[in-house]
């Protein structure tokens, strides 16, 4: 897939790939815009750290899959950016 406003892949990033198992890694949402939301369309895990519930997106690849761009944007529009 070519770089565009919907997709960007940075293979030169020292963290690339930040998630394993994705053929085309969309780096456009490098820092997930859904992270601060309690509910999101991805598959985060919730872990306990020092007695606090923390959202962990370590195994979530949802925003990095090119076909999910429209879903992420729709979610942000509906739930505020």
Tell me the pLDDT of the chain (81 aa) as tens digits.
777 889 999 999 998 888 888 888 899 998 888 888 878 899 899 999 899 999 998 889 999 999 999 999 998 888 765
Q: What is the pLDDT of residue 51?
A: 92
User: What is the torsion angle, in degrees rounded to the nearest 10, for the CA atoms of residue 16, residue 5, residue 24 and residue 27?
Assistant: 20
Look at residue 22 in the predicted model and tell me its pLDDT: 83
Query: What pLDDT is recorded for position 3?
Result: 72
Domain edges within the chain: 1-81
pLDDT score for 37? 81
The reported pLDDT for the residue numbered 69 is 94
* Phi, psi for residue 75 in degrees, rounded to 5: -60, -45
Check residue 2 and give its pLDDT: 75
Scan for tokens 């090119």, then name that residue. 66
Give me the pLDDT at residue 80, please. 67
């Amino acid at each position: 897939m070519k770089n565009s406003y919907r997709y960007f892949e940075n293979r030169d990033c020292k963290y690339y790939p930040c998630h394993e198992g994705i053929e085309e890694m969309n780096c456009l949402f490098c820092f997930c815009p859904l992270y601060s939301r309690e509910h999101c369309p991805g598959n985060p895990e919730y872990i306990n750290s020092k007695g606090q519930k923390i959202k962990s997106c370590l195994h979530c690849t949802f925003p990095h899959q090119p076909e999910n761009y429209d879903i992420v944007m729709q979610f942000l529009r509906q739930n505020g950016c």
